[in-house]
Amino acid sequence: MTQFTQQTTFYTEDHEWVTVHGDLATVGITRYAAEQLGDVVFVETPEVGKTFKKGDEMAVVESVKAASDVYAPLSGEIIDTNSALADSPETVNEHPEGEGWFCVIKFSDGAETRNLMDKDAYFEFCKGQ
Amino acid sequence: MADQSIDTLRRTPLYELHQEHGGKMVPFAGYEMPVQFEGVKPEHLWTREHAGLFDVSHMGPCFLYLKEGLGQPGAHEKISTLIERLVPSAISTLKPGQGRLTVLLNDGGGILDDLIITRMPDASLDGMLYIVVNGAVKHDDWALIREKLAGEAELQTADDRMLVALQGPEAEAVLTPHFPVAAELSFMRCAHVQKDGERYMVSRCGYTGEDGFELLLPNNETGLAYVRGLLADERVKPIGLGARNSLRLEAGLCLYGHDMDASRTPVEADLQWVIQKSRRERADFPGAEKILKQIADGPAEKRVGILPLERAPAREGTEIHVDGQLVGMVTSGGFGPSTDGPVAMGYVRADLAEPGTKIDLMVRGKARAGEVAALPFVQPNYKR
């Protein structure tokens, strides 16, 4: 099993960021995604204890414009969610890649990080969007 | 409209202006229209506090007039008799320059569109009506009116011109230097300004719940200069369709094709107020029998305001449950920047239409608490 002794951040094509450390992954949406969505008004975080396969619909982020799905970037179990988003969803716009995190996944297969992007690759990916 | 490829879409005369202002363009009602500029929420709040400029040139302005006898005594009564075959509102009682919201009905009393019909202000143009229909159905509306009134009235479309709305508490102060007549108009009144042989219509109405105006301008450099002049005012910002939708939703105003359509009567849509007493008594409009029976007995379902009590927006298509039973559906819903919370409207069983009635909103399979609410969500700011 792949272990991450150093904290490493990956990115998905669905504009999520995933910071892995040990067998835990903290997940949120990128600054690019937050800017595209506009003002976030509600985040439906997953329930603690639920398990997802990579690519499953895991959370929903609602902006003034529309509702958008957030997909599980790695397979695993939800062990924590950001309950502060219930009262202040605008944190997702203010600090998308920090305090605006959505949940923590205890992931089951570290090899799944192989087809995620690093920061430079994600930057190039966004330029092509 | 989602299946329309972008290259078959029409552009309004203000397309380039939208691009200059950084508008994000999307397909809407057959046109490439700006959905947002700065962002839905700031545009919405700006309109409620200052003045927002909306391009509504995709809509269907037109003039309906008598083939003969324009400006002669009785001309308004004649044109009213003709259009009243299709709408249930009293058009004959309109004063010069007065407008009225009404609905185009099919023979079953179903709503084909909502529209504003205005009597031309000039005595010399008595027998002519200024009509604005919705963009998405304008060609059907015009075909129906022409078919039903063939040989008696002419319909001249004006959707090749610029139609813009200036909405918000500062709209009057912004517009008056350009059109001094604006300050003299009250809500649902219209002035006709003739300049250099071109016809300008200035109507005090809108779709935001705010005071404001709709302007029909010629599609030329002069018209464009007016729009540029309005936008140059620091009290004015361009506003996209996104904020237009959240503004009208907070104001409790229906969006055709969503909050009403041919399957709904004006009574079900809670628009029976558009049917004046004289028309009810004459019972001479399409679907009158069904509609009058619904007014007397009450409809089975009714359009209501819906207030989600949690933070999750309940969007169009959200099921409404009471005691686990399906009792209605959300037809428009989202987030209200001015109410700072989710707002919606939809249809519920008539016995549940009382404001305060507790309901469950089934958002992604989860029951979220909500209640039936009185419309509008924000108090209108019309100049009566």
Q: How confident is the model at residue A4 (pLDDT cuts 50, 70, 90)?
A: confident
Q: CB of B36 within 8 Å of any CB in chain A? A: yes
B289: distance to nearest CA of chain A, Å?
41
Phi (first) and psi of residue B244, to 5 degrees: -60, -40
> Of the candidates A64, A67, A89, which has its C-beta nearest B337's C-beta?
A64
Q: Which residues of A touch B40 (CB under 8 A)?
A: 38-39, 63-65
Q: Which residue spans of chain B are classified as CATH 2.40.30.110? A: 300-373
pLDDT tens readout for residues B350-372: 999 999 999 999 999 999 999 99
pLDDT of residue B106: 97
Q: Which residue spans of chain B are classified as CATH 3.30.1360.120? A: 6-57+161-250
* DSSP assignment letter at B198: E
- In this prediction, residues A60-84 reach a mean pLDDT of 95
A67 pLDDT higher than 80: yes
Phi (first) and psi of residue A124, to 5 degrees: -65, -40
- B300-373 in CATH: which number? 2.40.30.110
The domain that holds A14 is classified in CATH as 2.40.50.100
A65: distance to nearest CA of chain B, Å?
7
Domain count, chain A: 1
Q: How confident is the model at residue A3 (pLDDT cuts 50, 70, 90)?
A: low
> Of the candidates A41, A44, A60, which has its C-beta nearest B335's C-beta?
A41
Question: Could B313 and A38 be called an inter-chain contact, meaning their C-beta atoms sit closer than 8 Å?
Answer: no
> Of the candidates A41, A62, A65, which has its C-beta nearest B242's C-beta?
A65
- Which domain covers residue A102, as residue numbers? 4-127
Distances (CA, A) of B345 to B163, B254, B267: 27, 9, 15
CATH superfamily of B60-157: Aminomethyltransferase beta-barrel domains (3.30.70.1400)
pLDDT of residue B1: 41
Percent of chain A with pLDDT over 70: 98
Rg (C-alpha) for chain A, rounded Å, is 14
- Give the CATH class of B6-57+161-250: alpha beta
The half-sphere exposure of B9 on its side-chain side, counting CA atoms within 13 A, is 22
Q: Distance (Å, rounded) from C-alpha A76 to C-alpha B353?
A: 45
Residues of chain B with pLDDT under 70: 1-7
